[in-house]
A and B are shown apart, each in its own frame.
Chain A
């Protein structure tokens, strides 16, 4: 099992993951986030409470603070794992650090996801052209 990275290491590793994807021009970057409630002292999964009870407790008692686990992987299959192509990253973010983390996370994602369509400006350009023509005629 891999250990959790620090936030700095996580961001550098994540951006390198995006750049390798860009250079190969195909592939996947898979990001996951969830509430981190694992504790080694109680290896069994959270106690199975009856549905009605758990629903009620969720409504009445506020959620105890817990860190958020962020995972990133390039989603390589088992054969890729054998060849050492699989990349798995993870980091823990404490509730107080969430805002700062997500600002940087957004920057990295925006820079990395450059394969998406840019904003379509053709319509606006066409309008401007028409306006200029009108002015020229007038």
Chain B
């Protein structure tokens, strides 16, 4: 049962597991809150008050589990800023599980192509393109897009140095 370092990796593998076993896979979100410091029961009241000042600590663990194969994919975080993104991921996975996979993918593809076209039209030295959109654009208009892609790559390398 691996813990993934990045939530994107977790999302990717979860969606694969979900595609393989849509009926049995479940996604669990566990939000746990505990005092930052545990006080013993027989501790002095002063110390208890001091420990209470330290506040609480929250943890969030998301698990994708398939009981049939026993696969369990986990991601753990304690950052509040990630909650929104993670719930969005849960929503995407739920849409796939509900049988809305095809629609969503089509919509995404269309968006990608549109974005690629827009970028190519705006400037010859385009921003670095995503792997998905690049080839499609090249097929449509070979000379322009090829030059744009090359320019973009060169620029990117310069930026890295």
**Bound pair (A, B):** yes
Residues on A facing B (Cβ under 8 Å):
21-22, 25-35, 37, 46, 55, 58, 62-68, 75, 93, 95, 98-99, 101-102, 105-106, 109-110, 112-119
Residues on B facing A (Cβ under 8 Å):
19-23, 25-35, 56-60, 77-81, 83-84, 87-88, 90-91, 93-95, 97-102
Interface of A is mostly: mixed
Q: A68-B97, A98-B95 are in contact. Are A113 and B80 (CB under 8 A)?
A: yes
Q: How far is the CA of A105 from the CA of B89 in the complex (A)?
A: 12
Of B31, B57, B88, B100, which one neighbours A29 at CB under 8 angstroms? B31
Q: How far is the CA of A62 from the CA of B59 in the complex (A)?
A: 37
Verify B33–A110 contact, CB threshold 8 A: no
Q: A26-B34, A116-B80, A117-B79 are in contact. Are A65 and B58 (CB under 8 A)?
A: no
Verify B27–A34 contact, CB threshold 8 A: yes
Verify A118–B80 contact, CB threshold 8 A: yes
Residues of the A chain whose Cβ atoms lie less than 8 Å from the Cβ of B98: 35, 65-68, 93, 95, 98
> Total A-B residue pairs with C-beta atoms closer than 8 Å?
135
Verify B23–A46 contact, CB threshold 8 A: yes
Verify B88–A106 contact, CB threshold 8 A: yes
Residues of the B chain whose Cβ atoms lie less than 8 Å from the Cβ of A28: 30-33
Q: How far is the CA of A58 from the CA of B91 in the complex (A)?
A: 21
Q: A33-B27, A68-B98, A113-B58 are in contact. Are A63 and B22 (CB under 8 A)?
A: yes
Of B35, B78, B84, which one neighbours A26 at CB under 8 angstroms? B35
Residues of the A chain whose Cβ atoms lie less than 8 Å from the Cβ of B91: 98-99, 101-102, 105-106
- Which residue from chain A places its CB closest to the CB of B30 in the assembled complex? A30
- Which residue from chain B places its CB closest to the CB of A116 in the assembled complex? B80
Q: A30-B29, A62-B102, A116-B78 are in contact. Are A105 and B87 (CB under 8 A)?
A: yes
Q: How far is the CA of A66 from the CA of B25 in the complex (A)?
A: 14
Q: A26-B34, A46-B23 are in contact. Are A119 and B99 (CB under 8 A)?
A: no
Verify B99–A65 contact, CB threshold 8 A: yes
Verify B97–A34 contact, CB threshold 8 A: yes
Residues of the B chain whose Cβ atoms lie less than 8 Å from the Cβ of A67: 98
Q: List 7 A-B contacts (CB under 8 A).
A: A28-B33, A95-B98, A98-B94, A102-B91, A112-B31, A116-B78, A117-B79
Residues of the B chain whose Cβ atoms lie less than 8 Å from the Cβ of A119: 79-81
Verify B99–A95 contact, CB threshold 8 A: yes
